Each structure stands twice: as C-alpha cells, then as structure tokens.
Structure 1
Amino acid sequence: MSFEAKTNGAGSLQKWGGAAALYEALAYIIGIVGFIAVVNISEVADPLQKVTAMAANQGLLTLLYLLVYVIWGASLVVLTLALHERLQGDVSALARTATAFGIIWSVLVIASGMIYNVGMGTVVELSAHNPEQAATVWLAIESVFNGLGGGVEVVGGIWVLLLSVAGLRNGGLPRLLNYLGFVVGAAGVATVVPALGETGAMTFGLTQIVWFVWLGIAMLRRPAGLALHSAPGEVAVHPAPAR
C-alpha cells in the first residue's frame, strides 16, 4: 500500500470518528429530552406502576434505548479506534490503555441497552398475566442495568481522563479540550460515590455533550492531526499540536 493510500485511510477513519463523536452528543440530547421531557418513568417509585408505564410506552422506550445505548455504544467503538490512531496508540501505552477503557465502556453501554429492551419486553408480556411477579422481575433486571452502566459512569470517566492526558502529551487534541476532559472525567469517576452520584452524573452528561461536539469538530477539521507515518525513505510529518 502506498504512503498516500495510508494517509488517506487514516484521514477517513478520523472523519468517521468525528462523525461518531457528534452522534454521541446528539444521542445525549435525545436522551435528555426523551427520558425527562417525553417519557420519564425513572421517577416512578412503585414497581407495579413502573411496569404499567413501560407497557404504555414500550415502543418509544425501545427506540430511545436503541438510539441512546445500543447505537451510541457502537458509535463509541468507531470513535475509540479513531482516537487510538490519532493519539498514536501503537507507540503510546497511555493511549492503548484509553482504548481498552473505551472498548469496555462501549460493551457495557450496548449490553445495558439490550438488557433493558429485552427485559422490558419480557416484563410487559408477563405483566398481562401476573403484574406482581412482573414487578419483582423488573427490580432484578433494573439492578443489572444500573450495575452495567445505567447509573455509574466511572468507566467513561476514566476513559476521558486517559484521553485528556494522552492528548496533552502528544498534542493530538486541542489543549483546552483536554482541560475540559479533566472536568468531564472527574465528574464521571465521582458517580461511583453514592453521595455524589446524581450530581456527578448530571455534570458528566452535560459537560460531555460539549466535549463530544468539540472533539467531533476538531477531528473533522483536522483529520490528519495524528502523526503520519512516512513511507520508506521519506521523512515523517508531525503536525503542530491542535489549538
């Protein structure tokens, strides 16, 4: 493969990564509007009433969890691989560690969304015959969902923190974006503390919308922001750090 083909391929992945980052932000906004303004069943405390609410809104909830969890997680895989390339993960142990956490987070989010949708379908069907048993089953499913990532954002927080450190070290990401990443990451890690869970999750979600948009624009505008590997006999080109 020629040097030009390699660099074109790298630029293509960066653009796909930028588009994925923008989708992540869009999905957050869809989730905020959908889960709070349109169909907010998280505030329903009684399990029986929650199952009834899910049955009444099953189609919309299924779509929301597909967009905000399953497709979001799949897009995160693309973004993670693009950032691995951009931050020179082949030579940076820190970037490779960030990639690992990004993939882990992707799997957790996808699994959370699938468990919610499949579990909801089972519970709604069961509720037609035995509402009390359906409510009990849902409590178990919801606990698994929350444990995988429905309520704790520590894995995502660690991912953003690692990316921010790696970005500062090699200049592959805008400096101010990396500083914002420290705020986002710290908020995500804070969700592991029960007393800080709600505040941390809110801060993490809102600040990460800005972080994803900024990251996506940076990757689309500077698709060759990563260090380019030279062909044999050529000098490698290392662009100046993004601002």
Structure 2
Amino acid sequence: MKTLSRAAGISAISMALLYVIAFVFFGVFWSYPSDGSPAEKMTFLAEHQFSFNVIYTLMYLVFAVFLSFLVVGLYQRLKVKSEGLIAVGTLFGAIWVGLVIASGMIANIGLAYAIGLMEVNPEKAFDVWGIIYLMVESLGGGNELVGGLWVLVVSIVALQLGVFSKYLNCLGIFVGIAGVATIYPSEIFTEIFGISQIVWFIWIGSSLLGRENESKDWGGAVVAKR
C-alpha cells in the first residue's frame, strides 16, 4: 500500500507539472492564426503537427496514466471507512480516465485525418477538423463535469473522515464545484478549474508522499515508527 501511495503522490505532482507545461506551451509558443483563413489555419496545423501531437499526448494520454494511479491510490486510502461514497467517486474518476484517453487519441488521429484532406479541399479539411476538435473539447477539454465530480466526492469523503488537511479538502471541494460548473459554456469556469486543480494536485501529492514516513495498517490506525 505504501508503494501505491507513493505512486499516487508522484502521479499527482506530475499531473500538475503537465498542466503547467500545457499552459506555457499554448500561452507562449502556440501562435495559432485565429483570424486567418481556413487554408491558413490548416497549413499552420500541418506545419506544427508534430508539436501538437507531442503536447496532446502529454496532456491527455500521459495525464490519464498518472490519473489512474491517483484515482486508485485515493480509493485505497479512503475506502476502509467509506466504501459506498468513495466507490461512487472512484467510478467518476475511472470514467474521467477513459474520457481523457479517448480525447487524446481522437485529437491526434483526427488531426492527421484532417491534414490528409487538405490536398482535396482545405476548407473541407478545416470543417472536418472543427468537428473533431468539438468532440475533443466535449469529451475532455471544455467540459470538466466528470473530473469535477470525482474531486468533489473524494474531498467530501476525506473531510468527513479527517484524512488530509482540512484546508486541502476544502480546496478540493472548491475545485470540484468549479469542475461541475463547466457544464455552463464559459471559459472562466474551465480556467478556474484548471488553475485551482494544479494547486490541489501538488498539495494532495505532497500529502500522499509525506505519509511514507508513517507506518499504517490501512484499517485506520496509525503506528509510529520506533
């Protein structure tokens, strides 16, 4: 169990790092021609396909692998005293893992398909890419309902059990509510969820790693090392 807790802690901090990498990449290096013509936009995507695939692989596929460790690690940590509610939360976490993986694969394969249509009709290629991107955003980018529900339930359970810091759990509840709020199509909720979740990932990861110095029987008792 200590190994799983360590893996979950490292994964949480790694996910925060991936969020930061994505923010920096799209904020500093990604100069997408938003006001350009469909042909100009598709040409830009074709020229930057490799970097697009790399960043989306990190943002979605690698992120999902780390997320799976965190979902299972938190389930193991909290299930002893709250099997029912934490099981529901873990279900949302598992669904989120699947949605994130699907989003990443659709984005990478879909872009390659759209670029392949450029020789036939650049405008049609752009229309196809618009549909593909809408699918990606709907599943795992612009709508964070499922992830928000997972964080919300996990934080409520942890708060009820007195596991982790009270302030950490309150932050998790805030993050979860922000994620649920993304069902309303407004960028502000997505940004709040993303930024606040970076803090939550780092904090929960540090808390999990900090427990390596304790010997636990996972039935709730804590035995101090001699």
**TM-score normalised to the size of structure 1?**
0.85
Structure 1 match to 2:208 = 219
Q: 1:129 to 1:19 in 2, by over 3 A?
A: same
Moved more, 86-95 or 58-67: 86-95
Question: 1:9-158 maps to which residues of 2 (within 5 A)?
Answer: 10-41=1-32, 43=34, 46-88=37-79, 91-158=82-149
Structure 1 stretch displaced more, 119-128 or 153-162: 119-128
CA contact (8 A) 2:80 2:220 kept: no
Change (3 A) 1:237 1:185: closer
**Structure 1 residue 193, shift from structure 2 partner:** 1.0
- In 2, are the aligned partners of 1:226 and 1:238 still within 8 Å (CA)? no
Mark the runs of 5 or more structure 1 residues left unpaired by the alignment: 1-9, 230-235
Change (3 A) 1:205 1:54: same
Q: Secondary structure at the match of 1:222?
A: helix
* Partner amino acid, structure 1, of 2:138: G
* 2:193 corresponds to: 204
SS at the partner of 1:127?
Answer: coil
Which portions of structure 1, spanning 4 or more consecutive aligned residues, are displaced by more than 3 angstroms? 40-49, 223-227
Q: Distance in 2 between matches of 1:208 and 1:55?
A: 32
Amino acid paired to 1:222: R
Q: CA RMSD for the aligned pairs?
A: 2.1
Which residue number in structure 2 is paired with residue 7 of structure 1? none
Unaligned segments of structure 2, at least 5 residues:
none
Q: How many residues align?
A: 223
| Percent of residue pairs identical | 38
Cα separation, partners in 2 of 1:224 and 1:11, compared to 1, 3 Å:
farther
**Aligned-residue offset at 1:125:** 1.9
2:158 to 156, 159, 167: 167
The residue type paired with residue 218 of structure 1 is S
Q: 1:31 to 1:120 in 2, by over 3 A?
A: same
- Structure 2 residue corresponding to 1:188, chosen from 137, 154, 179: 179
- Partner Cα separation in structure 1 for residue 66 and residue 48 of structure 2: 26
Cα pair distance change 1:91/1:182, threshold 3 Å: closer
Q: Give the 3 Å change call, closer, same or farther, for CA 216–125 of structure 1 in structure 2.
A: same
Q: Secondary structure at the match of 2:32?
A: coil
**Shift of residue 43 of structure 1?**
4.2
**What residue in structure 2 maps to residue 5 of structure 1?**
none
Moved more, 160-169 or 131-140: 131-140
TM-score for both structures, normalised by structure 2: 0.91
